[in-house]
Amino acid sequence: MLKKNIGMNTICTHTGAVEDVVFGGAVSPIYMSTSYDFIDKSPKRYPRYFNTPNQELLAKKIAALEAAEAGLIFSSGMAAISNVMLMALKSGDHAVIQNDIYGGTRNFIESHFRSYGIDYSFTKDLTSKAFKDCLKTNTKLIYIETPSNPMLKLVDIFAIAKLGKSKGILTAIDNTFATPVIQKPITLGIDIVIHSATKYFGGHSDITAGAVVSSQKIVDNLWDLAKDFGGNLSDFSVWMLERSMKTLVIRVKAQQKNAKKLASFLEKHPAVAAVYYPGLKSHPNHDLAKTQMRGYGAMLSFELYENYPVLSFLNSLNLIKPSMSLAGVESTMIMPSKTSHALLSKTDLKAQGISDQLIRFSVGIESKKDLIYDIEQALNVCKK
């Protein structure tokens, strides 16, 4: 029996492991069965009901890491996000949403909310007062993403949770960039925490998954919708994710240590016009970061001056991969205007500050000096 307040690394390694009662193996067996005995059995198990042994136990691990009561594992981050939004919002309802969010989330809202009869307001001003000013009598959800993708903007999590509670409105956060290693929004009063588990939870760029944690009551409501939409993750991927999450804390800590060094290096570099990283004193929300984050994460963005063409820079990298997605142990860089946010209009891109000179840098675990060397040599090659 483990003591009550166990550490994050212990949760990662042990909580939610499936015990191998037959052979006593040290790692979880995989239950790939899609067919379970139903006679006198409760619950009735079926993968789309999110209740196979591997699914249930991994949800416990993620809930424990986020200090939540319960959770569900989805087939992708977008499956998690869309299920949460459609659980919280019905025809005639209104949502207040942070303007700076992952492009896919924004595309989901802009492409589908109106056809479901759901109204929404994006707020560019990220103060809690601005969120409050957007509220309507029919507002049922406040949705934030902090740090945001790709500009690393921050929202005061505690203030948003307080606003939601004072008005009886559900609050949800996309905690993908931070992970529970860096911030635990449930402890600050947020109702629902969402992850693209494709990112740090998976950590090796080989799993697409999503996760939602919250109170048991909210997770039960979510389950009611999710089992009908059918966005569960296959048990093999669930098993891979449980294995990957054993190293979550040590990976994120190593990546963020590198990111802090790389952000300072880039900020001083003459080719770099701006660096966006909450750990830098120059970041407008650096003080807020110190209060709500433990560390500053491993994602940063930077802008090159015009005489360093971005595509040519990315093509000249030898070690850092110019590839989509983020948060793997290997460093990657992308142009958000051509990838994660490509579906946004020119006006929206401008409003979020996403220029064609902007590069999003997902810092990996490689040796810091090798990353710096790679950036230096690529800048030398691409300079006009």
Ligand X SMILES: Cc1ncc(COP(=O)(O)O)c(C=O)c1O
DSSP symbols for 45-81 = P-GGGT-SHHHHHHHHHHHHHTT-SEEEEESSHHHHH
Residue 328 lies near ligand X (rule: CB under 6 A):
no
Task: Give the x/- contact pattern for ligand X in 141-180, rule: CB under 6 A.
Answer: ----x---x------------------------x-xx---
CA pair distance 10, 2, nearest whole angstrom = 10
Among 76, 139, 237, 316, binds ligand X (CB under 6 A): 76
CA pair distance 153, 170, nearest whole angstrom = 22
Give whichever of 174 and 235 is closer to ligand X, judged by the CB atom: 174
The catalytically annotated residue of 93, 174, 191, 235 is 174
Using the rule CB under 6 A, give the single segment among 75-83, 136-144, 160-168, 304-312 that binds ligand X.
Answer: 75-83
Residue 100 lies near ligand X (rule: CB under 6 A):
no
Largest CA distance in the chain: 73
Give whichever of 31 and 102 is closer to ligand X, judged by the CB atom: 102
In angstroms, what is the minimal distance from the CB of 4 to ligand X?
Answer: 32
CA pair distance 45, 37, nearest whole angstrom = 8
In angstroms, what is the minimal distance from the CB of 82 to ligand X?
Answer: 9
Terminal alpha carbon distance of the chain: 64
Is-catalytic flag, 102?
A: yes
Site for ligand X in 219-278 (CB under 6 A): none
In angstroms, what is the minimal distance from the CB of 230 to ligand X?
Answer: 15
Site for ligand X in 174-193 (CB under 6 A): 174, 176-177
Place of tokens 């998690």: 80
Place of tokens 């995989």: 30
DSSP symbols for 242-272 = HHHHTTHHHHHHHHHHHHHHHHHHHHH-TTE
Among 78, 169, 178, 288, binds ligand X (CB under 6 A): 78
Among 47, 210, 231, 336, binds ligand X (CB under 6 A): 210
In angstroms, what is the minimal distance from the CB of 81 to ligand X?
Answer: 6
Among 16, 71, 104, 180, binds ligand X (CB under 6 A): 104
In angstroms, what is the minimal distance from the CB of 104 to ligand X?
Answer: 5
Task: Give the x/- contact pattern for ligand X in 6-45, rule: CB under 6 A.
Answer: ----------------------------------------
Tokens standing for residue 161: 């949770």
Is-catalytic flag, 199?
A: yes
Is-catalytic flag, 48?
A: yes
Give whichever of 203 and 210 is closer to ligand X, judged by the CB atom: 210
The catalytically annotated residue of 45, 61, 153, 199 is 199
Among 198, 237, 255, 352, binds ligand X (CB under 6 A): 198
Report CA-CA distances (Å) from 103 to 216, 251, 345, 354, 384.
29, 26, 11, 11, 31
Determine the residue type at 64. Answer: A
In angstroms, what is the minimal distance from the CB of 153 to ligand X?
Answer: 12
Closest-CA residue to 32 (of 240, 215, 331, 275): 240
Among 31, 102, 122, 239, binds ligand X (CB under 6 A): 102
In angstroms, what is the minimal distance from the CB of 35 to ligand X?
Answer: 28
Tokens standing for residue 208: 């697409």
User: Is the separation of the CB atoms in 114 and 139 below 8 Å?
Assistant: no
In angstroms, what is the minimal distance from the CB of 105 to ligand X?
Answer: 6
CA pair distance 213, 187, nearest whole angstrom = 12
Is-catalytic flag, 37?
A: no
The catalytically annotated residue of 31, 102, 200, 276 is 102
Alpha helices in the chain (DSSP H): 8-14, 53-65, 77-88, 103-112, 128-134, 157-167, 179-182, 216-229, 235-245, 248-268, 286-292, 310-316, 346-352, 368-382
- Other Cβ atoms less than 10 A from the Cβ of 115: the count is 8
Point out the residues that are catalytic: 48, 102, 174, 199
Binding site for ligand X (CB under 6 A): 76-78, 102, 104, 145, 149, 174, 176-177, 196, 198, 208, 210, 340
